[in-house]
Chains A and B, each alone.
Chain A
């Protein structure tokens, strides 16, 4: 009789422990899910931040900026030159190593909107299985050194996330 009593007591203890661990398990799963969601939110914020930083980097790129150092002013001859250099197959290391290190998976285009419509693709590197894309448009002045005139254009920076 006593033996049975102590056996029941033992089962009771084990059952309490089991329930205790099951509850802890549920708690951990719940915490993990919330943690995962927070990480995803942070990743999203960091991605947006990266997109803004990329746009800021392009805006201040000495390879494109007007010599007079005006903010948000690009020299058309420099824009043409950089586009030609980056997209030249002979300079693929420059694109795949140097500029990839700066811009990652993104696409940078400058479009002249006035007086005529002209578009230059500065850098374009996309990836398969893109999860998200952040697009930033910045109005810019485009200086034509030949005619010594300022035109109006838009800088578009698309940043992709795998």
Chain B
């Protein structure tokens, strides 16, 4: 009887140790997991805070390219947010950032251009990595060559005929100009579809067509307007047509606001110079892209430029 009791007592001890051991292991296991999650969130938060500072700084240093060393984490960029892992941070309505959907690698290239239509409206920020190769398809006219030369040398860029393009292990963005139908270069036909995309710029209609590779051909994903060279670069650096259009909307919204300021300013000048020859040139330059076509916007821009030139030659305060 006594020996039976001892056996039960020993067995109970073992069961007790087992349960307590499992509980302790679970407790520490969950603590480690939670700690890892918290550490990941903290790292992501630090990266995003630093990114915001870098982007604000880069945005105001127009026409300068910055090579920034970043942690080897996947950074997702869309028109209204940037996220690292599961942590997103919003991009404000005044920040216009053209970037690929996903930024990978240790080097981030930032470049900014000012958008003047005709007055300074905003600065566009372009993000890319050395892994993305931008190929301008030859033959190129003077305008296309000018665009190519405007791109900083630090950006992985090349002018090439379609038959000479070879897979170098990069992601490819092909840029076609007027009259050239996008075709998949034979050298890239076996490259996975998601590594190759293209845009076709039509300067006559101020339109850009976006393409994704599907096997041996390019499929169009849609068309969007552009106004000025900085937006051609915007389409080139964008990950998708949707992102480009979202940023285009932000840009035209900003144009509307800046135009409101110039309209108010011009009205004041018209009042101040009411009895002079300057008055007639102070036409109100309000541009609302939501109600007008791109051609009408271009006409308004041209009329403001002409008025400004007249004002300058007549020694009157200019519109911009």
Instruction: Confirm or deny: B56 has a beta carbon within 8 angstroms of a beta carbon on chain A.
Output: yes
Q: Which residue of B lies closest to A75 (CB)?
A: B265
Beyond A60-B123, A62-B121, A65-B120, 4 additional contacts (C-beta under 8 Å) are: A2-B6, A80-B268, A101-B93, A146-B272
With a CB–CB cut-off of 8 A, which chain A residues contact B13? 10, 13
Q: Is the CB of B49 within 8 A of A46?
A: yes
**Consensus secondary structure, chain B interface:** helix
| A-B pairs with beta carbons under 8 Å apart, 28 shown | A2-B6, A3-B5, A6-B9, A13-B13, A17-B20, A49-B49, A53-B52, A56-B56, A56-B57, A57-B94, A60-B59, A60-B123, A62-B122, A65-B120, A67-B120, A67-B318, A77-B269, A80-B265, A81-B260, A84-B264, A85-B260, A85-B261, A97-B93, A101-B93, A102-B94, A145-B317, A146-B269, A148-B317
Q: Is the CB of B258 within 8 A of A81?
A: no
With a CB–CB cut-off of 8 A, which chain B residues contact A98? 93-94, 253, 257
Of the candidates B94, B265, B318, the one whose C-beta lies within 8 Å of that of A78 is B265
B residues whose Cβ falls under 8 Å from a Cβ of A:
2, 5-6, 9, 13, 16, 20, 27, 49, 52-53, 56-57, 59-60, 92-94, 119-123, 253, 257-258, 260-262, 264-265, 268-269, 272, 317-318, 320
With a CB–CB cut-off of 8 A, which chain B residues contact A77? 265, 268-269
Q: Is the CB of A69 within 8 A of B120?
A: yes
With a CB–CB cut-off of 8 A, which chain B residues contact A10? 13, 16
Instruction: Confirm or deny: A136 has a beta carbon within 8 angstroms of a beta carbon on chain B.
Output: no
- Complex Cα–Cα for A86 and B121 (A): 17
Among B13, B53, B59, B257: residue with most chain A CB under 10 A: B257
Q: Which residue of B lies closest to A7 (CB)?
A: B9
With a CB–CB cut-off of 8 A, which chain B residues contact A17? 20
Q: Is the CB of B56 within 8 A of A57?
A: yes
How many residues of A sit at the interface, in one of the four size bands?
Answer: 20 to 34
**Consensus secondary structure, chain A interface:** helix
With a CB–CB cut-off of 8 A, which chain A residues contact B262? 81
With a CB–CB cut-off of 8 A, which chain A residues contact B265? 75, 77-78, 80-81
Q: Is the CB of B257 within 8 A of A94?
A: yes
- Complex Cα–Cα for A94 and B257 (A): 9
With a CB–CB cut-off of 8 A, which chain B residues contact A69? 120
User: Which 10 pairs from chain A and chain B are nearest by CB?
Assistant: A81-B264, A145-B317, A77-B265, A60-B60, A81-B261, A101-B93, A62-B120, A81-B265, A63-B261, A67-B320
Of the candidates A13, A49, A78, the one whose C-beta lies within 8 Å of that of B261 is A78
With a CB–CB cut-off of 8 A, which chain A residues contact B260? 81, 85
Q: Is the CB of B52 within 8 A of A82?
A: no
With a CB–CB cut-off of 8 A, which chain B residues contact A13? 13, 16
Which residues, 67 to 108 on A, are CB-close (under 8 Å) to B?
67, 69, 75, 77-78, 80-82, 84-85, 94, 97-98, 101-102
